[in-house]
Amino acid sequence: MRDMAAGPRVLLKRLRELMAEALEPQERLDRIVHDIAQNMVAEVCSLYVLRADSVLELYATEGLNRESVHLAQLRLGQGLVGTIAASARALNLSDAQQHPAFAYLPETGEEIYSSFLGVPVLRAGRTLGVLVVQNRTQRQYREDEVEALETAAMVIAEMIAAGDLARLTRPGLELDLRRPASFTGLSLNEGVGLGHVVLHEPRIVVTNLFNEDSDEELRRLEQALGSLRLSIDDMLSRRDVAFEGEHRAVLEAYRMFANDQGWVRRLEEAVRNGLTAEAAVEKVQSDMRARMMHMTDPYLRERMSDFDDLANRLLRMLMGRGPDDVAASLPKDAIIVARSMGAAELLDYPREKLRGLVLEDGTVTSHVVIVARAMGIPVAGQAKGAVSMSENGDAIIVDGDEGAIHLRPQSDLEAAYAEKVRFRARRQELYRELRKKPSQSKDGVKVDLMMNAGLAVDLPQLAE
């Protein structure tokens, strides 16, 4: 019986080798399509890349006319390739020319080929291009061949995302990955932030489920819980958070959750039932999430992100990852883009480098928003699709006043927002100059200035 997985494995191994070689981008693409064709016993392999003007351009081919590379083009939705890009679904055809969407490109010389397999080049749900193989004989491509081509498309998607193909793009044109995008969400904290995207992806997948030694797993669990509690105590003792009212209350709640005996008891019980410490955390968290999703109180349901945050921090400790040294790799103008995140995860980022926060979820009562507000960071929430459209390092603007997000903004928009930031800074400076002047009206009436303090620890901020 033939090993159906051998094809994708062999092809992936070859592609990894190609990615490691010091090659120019066009040569790398040419070698990739050559090796895919060879591995799949196909007479043709072609790569089309989606540009920002919704045109699919032929970037590399093995088997078609090489002169048509960077000249052959199809609009999104046009022909078989355009149909695949528009629908983000593969097409497997034994007689391609009989398909109603077939469009003939005479410059490529593809009219002699009958069978056609095309898959979208996808990254985070976005179509970046289309990868195609063709043969003269009429045949239906096997399931393992479809999987092999999809595997190759994943590798090419990373090449496109890394910007490797930018030098091959003609002047005045951009790939679709670089297209400006705007989102309208909710204003969760005022202010304007200009900076660069830092994607926040805290999700950890547990693959090792069953334990060999329950006592050893209980010891690991106890050690990780101890580290978790110490990390929260450390955050509470930090000078920049010690005197924040709501902010401190959030962290006090974290400390309470981390010391909750009911939670710890359920974790220990799951380990004794045969799960690893990691799998126990995952199971208990899943059970808790299922129960809380049925609660009608929106505030309690929103607290789920706090529980998720704690569980993820505990998982990182168990898996030996620990909090990453985010300060070293973070740009000086970081804007965090996340589907959701816990308050403590935001505190892992150095405050002096944060310029804003974008959440696909999140509301004004979310703990992470409360903490961001205390830190003076502009926040926009309910920005659906922001994570999948963003890449690390992309230029981004967060308009916390309007709840708007501008990804890869054009220069005129960026200049307008930069002026808005300068105006706000000048206005704040004027306010600071007024601080020491007497609070008195022009006709001599003294006015008492007060602040809204939730807790006694808010009072040291009164001077500010």
- Architecture of domain 214-318 in CATH? Orthogonal Bundle (1.10)
**379-381, strands of its sheet edge to edge:** 181-184, 404-407, 395-399, 192-199, 334-338, 354-359, 379-381, 186-189
Residue 327, classified by CB atoms within 10 Å of its CB into exposed (0-12), middle (13-18) or buried (19+), is exposed
Q: What's the farthest any 2 CA atoms get from each other in the chain?
A: 97
Q: Domains of the chain: which residue ranges?
A: 6-178, 181-199+329-434, 214-318
Fold of 6-178: Beta-Lactamase (3.30.450)
pTM of the model: 0.55
Rounded Cα distance, 162 and 172, in Å: 20
pLDDT tens for the 464 residues of the chain, in order = 444 445 566 776 788 788 888 889 899 999 999 999 998 999 999 999 998 888 999 999 999 999 999 999 999 889 999 999 888 888 999 998 888 888 877 777 777 888 999 998 887 567 889 999 999 999 999 887 887 888 788 778 878 877 778 788 887 777 777 778 888 899 999 999 999 999 886 456 666 777 888 899 999 999 999 988 888 787 777 655 545 555 566 677 777 777 888 888 888 988 887 778 988 887 777 667 655 655 666 666 556 656 767 787 888 888 876 555 455 568 899 999 987 787 777 888 888 899 999 998 878 878 788 888 878 899 999 887 787 678 788 899 999 999 999 999 988 999 999 998 898 888 888 888 888 888 888 899 999 877 765 544 445 556 66
* CATH number at 181-199+329-434: 3.50.30.10
